[in-house]
Structure 1
């Protein structure tokens, strides 16, 4: 039956009645009341009920490798998936379960996922951002904030979210990309302009997350009454960030040493008035809400289209990254943590984490490495929490604040020197983000140098460092365009150095046998690739090579 979305006032009233019903009649028991809650929610949004809307309760979802099934509380394809938890439970703790359900809910995967504990709705849009909800709506706010769940209306409307971090990140990237184009457009050297923009990004991010004194970069911009003063103030700050020691007074009081090499060179040009205005506008962004993917987006936005295509460079969103990181890194380590039952076994898991190494041989701006590091830090925290639980039962002092997972164990290679610098910065910032998320006491500054871990090199002609897992999104160039894009000399070297790869295979295929041959027994690899690797000679050179040489194609 077709229903019509109620007018705004009627909708708000219906939702208020839904809120009142939950508070008066439901205790928040997941098993006995979840279906009633969902049905009442659908009725409040203008449907005759869950079934009448076409949604399914207790929707069956196959587990990994088709080994059994699990059940989502409500599935309404292609709109949303709702997973209920008991009242008082923190919905965010079940983020992994929701992501797993969503990943396996094919075909017609729902756009939105809602985790709800009867009193709060955590709304996820995994196609836009993975690690945080796009909005969190308390039940009592639903009557006035219903636009965030407009996808539940009979006639679907575009929802309005208040925590859309991708939108914030893209806006910030657009501002900084504009600054780069202004600088390069008036003759500033490309590398100099890119480095300056990246230095500004790091400074703005750092002042918003506590690595720099609050608003110190913005203050330099606002205090400057002329381009010459801005030159003195901004470059003075950058020089201080590259100087050991902490000033006790003056304009740069309490600025700590950053290390890392990014600020070792300060640009020698003066910003024009219009460029200063763009930078001031960018500095007003809440950079703590900008995701590390900003660096990748910024990198792509500052490259010429032709250069991006020649390198096969392309931006990979977090959803695609997690589809690689989850089975290659998260699932195996989660299994080990779950199976460890004694203090000694958990200690061994943590020790093994400390020597676990990840490689992205075409790392670009470091997005895969960032996500892999973030997930490993979360797994480390889970193992330490389990260790502390075991120790508390024996009145033993809890595990101290100590990191087993180091950024230097996340290695990368790329042919683009600026991308390599971006990747280093991304990984250095990852340390601060993980420390804040996990509420540990780790001292982030000075930032750990990534110079040895992430290098500017061509992975097809350079030895790869030893790694336990190899991940990434290798560059894609169609086989008919390799000579035109990379040149005859480069193309002629490929078959000589890599005879296992057919000359009629796409460029991405070279990475598969290389990854297989460089992994130790039991190692894992995961690449994002196009469907062409399943076809003809490209398949022979990639997937078939892996299987024919003792590997498994999952």
Structure 2
């Protein structure tokens, strides 16, 4: 469940008649607990409570339904209950059906409210569903509640008006919803004449069955599209109640058709419930980012998950330009001339989000700048001065029409709220209506549009005509953006979409931008298109850029493909946030790992690297340079190598069967073969491992038949049948298989070792703290779903199993979805190791043995079991930590502080070693294959 669904369930619970016996289970169901869990609680099997009639769900909440007037005493009893502590309850809650109190035990924070008011506090309880509490939601849940109400209304209206659900009418539906959002906000902020006038008018003038609700709304919308002076002559005439109560608004919002979808009784109820909320408290950056999913069929299932917290947005905006504005404000002190210059500068700053969604980055940027401007005005004794920061300097592109419409509406609401906050309600109202008709949020495909036309460097002009809710001026180039000599900052959170997840249209978008410029562009995430477009914009019109993006664009092959192109355009990384989790409002949400990358078109002396700590608080370092891997290191690119840089043991892929499944045996097939052949097949069967089999301990087997034994194997009927099936499969399996048709008894390509071998999984979870290599004897056949290090020295196992190596792999490897993809050319062959003494090798060999012995002590636990980060055995972890201690002292004489320090050392060493290898290459051609350890 997500936050919107939880709020809806809690609201439904609060309006139902209170049922003492049922409440605890209904409450737990509202927070996403499964029916099976509730069934066990009802039966008493899982109820850990030691209090009469109470319900305790372990690791969750202890609930007591008490007698009237005893809520406080019941909460004290829950707090004192030994069962509460023993079951590690996160919350306690007591209610008598009239009042309710709850406490978060870790923080000691409490709520106390009327039972019916519980929905206004649901944000406090979101951790019960595994949702990290976001301060803005916790303190003010109106945005989630509003989204929930509008979603219900939207779905009900589409069900009643199927024509409005069709593609050709969806824009009309979205237009209608945006009008409602404005009306709800306007009626609670005195923009309309009288608080609640819009909702009250609908309630009074419409029939309870909803039959004429559309007519009432049409009349209201018509009124807001007709100037007061023209209403007397309007045809048809406005009803007197509409004329009197509603002002002229327009600005494109109420122009055009005033048609409204038909309402049912339920739709009218949802409309009134939405209007009953306090829209004065709406937070446009939160509300807009959540409501954008309401109008999208594909995204409605993730409703409420789009919210981007203000702290995360400020990770982009602060270092991009806001920190510098605040520093200039601090330096200006009370110097009125300096303050005036800063205010003039801010009036010419344009913020451009070319993937703006519902405008949350733009809204936050606007609100932060208004806060700085208000302080300037206070220091200059001009607190009532009208803002000089125009909304039209906050520009955006959005692919979908509804979020684009909401983006502009969110900015309008933000402007009004800022005016009220900094200038007062009277001044804000005096200047709010009518709305400005100018359009500065463009609806279109950002990767196909000319950004310089949409956000020109100087002067005037939006030259892209876009059909949207607010209407487009006849000549957009006439819009004066007051930006002559100003600054432009590009920012946002563009869509990521890795190569395996892009639509054909998205791949075509990326191909048009990157295809002519480089090979390997298909491996790039979709967001790379925005990075390159921003770099091209900045090359022609210098600006600052900062995007939230997947960490994968600064890893592996993507780093070596994308960032040289950016550098060629004269861009350098000026600041970056290394990988952190970008969570949303879904339950048990792990979040996606993202980075923030800031670009500058002019040299920046002081660059800043922000790194998330264990507590989530970022530390910051001032550095001289930031390379494509977000390290304080030279901008060298790690490229695939055919031979190892440091190891003398070669690495290969495993063996490939290309057999139609006939040479591979499951455990059941293996046992059947042994039985049916009377044991004659045993000499031709070997254990068979790929990455999955090795990590998860799932044994498989394969037929392994040497050429000299082919005739003997063919004499075993059960094997002969499989060999014949392989021959037939390869005969019709394409060119690659043709070369192996003549030897159907063998794998198509073989890399079997004659001695011991080291298996390295080629795909493994990003959660792993170590690369889980394994030593095997030569009986094992390793599939091409894993890599083999041939006849490795034991210290090679130690190095592969180190934190140093996995840090390198995370930086340079590719990804398969979120899993790490280990490739020999990028991960093993490029890894830099200092020159090892014999004593170093002996010490590392001892560490390798300790790791293997620690694993063996937990037989039959699988690698997956042993290396689960949350359940790794202590002796195994100690063995790895000792291994890290020994290896890292070889590098720098001590343990590294963190992965950043490890990688900076590794890149320094890689740069030196590759430079030395390139310099020595002509002289050492004859000994190219000889590598030191």
Same fold (TM over 0.5): yes
The correspondence of residues 243-258 of structure 1 with structure 2, limited to 5 A, is: 243-245=226-228, 250-253=241-244, 255-258=246-249
**Which digits, 9 at most, give the CA deviation of each residue in 1:412-470, with x for residues without a partner?**
0111122211111111111111112213424122223341x111122212111146111
Counterpart check, 1:502 vs 2:495: no
Go from structure 1 to structure 2 and tell me whether the alpha carbon gap of 1:490 and 1:307 turns closer, same or farther (over 3 Å shift): farther
After TM superposition, give the deviation of residue 337 of structure 1 in Å.
Answer: 1.0
Q: Distance in 1 between matches of 2:141 and 2:553?
A: 33
Paired residue for 1:181? Answer: 155
**Which digits, 9 at most, give the CA deviation of each residue in 1:61-116, with x for residues without a partner?**
xxxxxxxxxxxxxxxxxxxxxxxxxxxxxxxxxxxxxxxxxxxxxxxxxxxxxxxx
Go from structure 1 to structure 2 and tell me whether the alpha carbon gap of 1:159 and 1:414 turns closer, same or farther (over 3 Å shift): closer
Counterpart check, 1:535 vs 2:555: yes
TM-score by length of 2: 0.40
Go from structure 1 to structure 2 and tell me whether the alpha carbon gap of 1:306 and 1:372 turns closer, same or farther (over 3 Å shift): closer
The correspondence of residues 128-167 of structure 1 with structure 2, limited to 5 A, is: 150-153=105-108, 164=138, 167=141
Deviates more, 1:544-553 or 1:468-477: 544-553
Counterpart check, 1:471 vs 2:491: yes
8 Å contact from structure 1 (residues 151, 159) kept in 2: no
Q: Distance in 2 between matches of 1:383 and 1:481?
A: 48
Return structure 1 stretches of 4+ with deviation > 4 angstroms.
7-12, 144-150, 158-163, 246-249, 306-309, 487-492, 496-501, 541-548
Counterpart check, 1:336 vs 2:316: no
Gaps of 5+ in 1: 13-44, 47-143, 389-397
Q: Distance in 2 between matches of 1:209 and 1:537?
A: 53
Go from structure 1 to structure 2 and tell me whether the alpha carbon gap of 1:511 and 1:492 turns closer, same or farther (over 3 Å shift): closer
After TM superposition, give the deviation of residue 216 of structure 1 in Å.
Answer: 1.7
**Corresponding residue to 1:195 among 166, 170, 175:** 175
Paired residue for 1:267? Answer: 259
After TM superposition, give the deviation of residue 268 of structure 1 in Å.
Answer: 4.1
Q: Distance in 2 between matches of 1:523 and 1:168?
A: 37
TM-score by length of 1: 0.65
8 Å contact from structure 1 (residues 513, 541) kept in 2: no
Paired residue for 1:552? Answer: 573
Counterpart check, 1:210 vs 2:190: yes
Paired residue for 1:324? Answer: 316
**Matched residue SS, 2:501:** helix
Q: Distance in 1 between matches of 2:243 and 2:517?
A: 53
Paired residue for 2:272? Answer: 280
Gaps of 5+ in 2: 1-61, 63-70, 81-98, 111-122, 126-134, 233-239, 457-486, 576-933
Paired residue for 1:229? Answer: 212
Go from structure 1 to structure 2 and tell me whether the alpha carbon gap of 1:542 and 1:429 turns closer, same or farther (over 3 Å shift): farther
The correspondence of residues 74-473 of structure 1 with structure 2, limited to 5 A, is: 150-153=105-108, 164=138, 167-186=141-160, 187=162, 188-189=164-165, 190-213=170-193, 214-223=195-204, 224-225=206-207, 227-245=210-228, 250-253=241-244, 255-264=246-255, 265-292=257-284, 293-305=286-298, 315-341=307-333, 342-388=335-381, 398=382, 400-440=384-424, 441-442=427-428, 443-451=431-439, 453-464=440-451, 465-466=455-456, 468-473=488-493
**Which digits, 9 at most, give the CA deviation of each residue in 1:475-532, with x for residues without a partner?**
1111123244x36654543434665982311101111122233237873222111211
Q: Distance in 1 between matches of 2:557 and 2:521?
A: 7
**Matched residue SS, 2:242:** coil
- Structure (1 or 2) with the larger CA radius of gyration: 2
After TM superposition, give the deviation of residue 307 of structure 1 in Å.
Answer: 9.7
More helix by share: 1
Aligned residues: 406
Go from structure 1 to structure 2 and tell me whether the alpha carbon gap of 1:323 and 1:145 turns closer, same or farther (over 3 Å shift): farther
**Which digits, 9 at most, give the CA deviation of each residue in 1:271-314, with x for residues without a partner?**
122211111111111112232122331221321227999xxx95
8 Å contact from structure 1 (residues 468, 519) kept in 2: no
Counterpart check, 1:526 vs 2:509: no
